[in-house]
Amino acid sequence: MSSTPLKIDPTRASALVSQLQGVQDRILAVAKGRPVRLVAVSKLKPANDILALHQAPQVKHVHFGENYAQELQQKAELLPRSIKWHFIGGLQSTHCKPLARIPNLFAVSSLDSLKKAQTLNRVRGELIASSSSSEEPIEKLNVHVQVNTSGEDSKSGCSPGQETADLCKAIVTECPHLNLLGLMTIGAIARSKATTPENENEDFQVLREQRDLVEQELGLENGSLELSMGMSEDFEGAIVMGSGEVRVGSTIFGERGSKQEAKVVV
C-alpha cells in the first residue's frame, strides 16, 4: 500500500455509483435471471474512481478491468486486495510474468498464444507455491481465450477454428494453474454500433459458435464455457445472445482522455 491517501470526492462518487447502478439495472432487464458478471473498465481512470465504487455501500463493486499492464500493476499496489482485477488489453509476452504475480488478478481475458499461457501458468504456479498459509490463498488464474471474430488486422486474438480450439485444449490439459473460463471478443466497431437487442451482432454469433465447437472438442457440457462479450455500445444485445460477462467502461466512468494525460493518483 502506498502512503498517498486517495481522496474521494463525494459528488464524483455518487455520480459513479448511479452510473454503475444504471448499467446493473439494464443488465438485469435483459439477463432473464441468468448471472452476468459486470467488469467495470477503469482504464485511464484514476484509482480514487475505482476505490469510490469498491467502497460505496450501495454497490461494493469488485470486478474492474484494465488494458495496460503497468497501469494495472500500479493500481493493484495502491488499492485493496479485495478488488478482483481483469486484464483485458493487448497481451504482450513481457506482460505475462508481472501480471501473473499480482495476487488478486482474477482473469486475463486477452490470451491468444500457448507460449503466453505457459508463462502465465508457470509464474502463477510459483506464486501459489511461495504463498504462505497465513495469507489469503492465491487462486488459479482465470483466462479467456480472445478470438478475432471480425478478422480485422488491428484486433488481436486467435483465428476462429483450429487455432482457438487448440489453445483451449492446451490450457485445459497442460496448464494446471490456469482455469479456462471461456472465450472473449471485442468485435468490429461498426457492428457494435448497429447492435440492438433485436439486431444480432455477427461477432457475437461467431463467438457463440466457437464456444460450442470448443466445448464439443473438449468433451465439455454445453454452456460450461462462458462468453465475454459486450461493451458500452452493445452490452444488452450481447447478453441477449448469451454473454456471461460484459466489459463496460465509458457508460460508468465517462469518456476517456488520452493515455498521456491519464494519472493513477489525482
Of 81, 86, 110, give the one whose Cα is nearest residue 183.
110
The least CB distance from residue 137 to ligand PLP, in Å, is 28
Cα distance between residue 214 and residue 69, in whole Å = 28
Residue closer to ligand PLP, measured from CB, 125 or 187? 187
- Closer Cβ to ligand PLP, 66 or 215, answer by number: 66
Contact 103, 85 (CB under 8 A): no
Q: To the nearest whole angstrom, how small is the minimum distance from the Cβ of residue 41 to ligand PLP?
A: 4
DSSP 181: E
Give me 177's grid cell: 494453474
Contact 64, 50 (CB under 8 A): yes
Q: 116 by DSSP, 3-state: which?
A: helix
* Residue with grid cell 463496460, as numbered in its chain: 248
Residue type, 5: P
What residues from 180 to 199 belong to the interface with ligand PLP (CB under 6 A)? 186
* Contact flag: residue 232 with ligand PLP (CB under 6 A): yes
- In this structure, are residues 24 and 234 in contact, taking their beta carbons and an 8 Å threshold? no
Instruction: Choose the stretch contacting ligand PLP; rule: CB under 6 A; options: 7-15, 196-204, 210-218, 231-239.
Output: 231-239
Nearer to ligand PLP, 43 or 54 (CB): 43
Whose Cβ is closer to ligand PLP: residue 73's or residue 192's? 192
Distance in Å, CB of 232 to ligand PLP, minimum: 3
Q: Is residue 149 at the binding interface for ligand PLP, with CB under 6 A as the rule?
A: no
Binding residues for ligand PLP, rule: CB under 6 A, are: 41, 43, 67, 88-89, 186, 231-233, 247-251
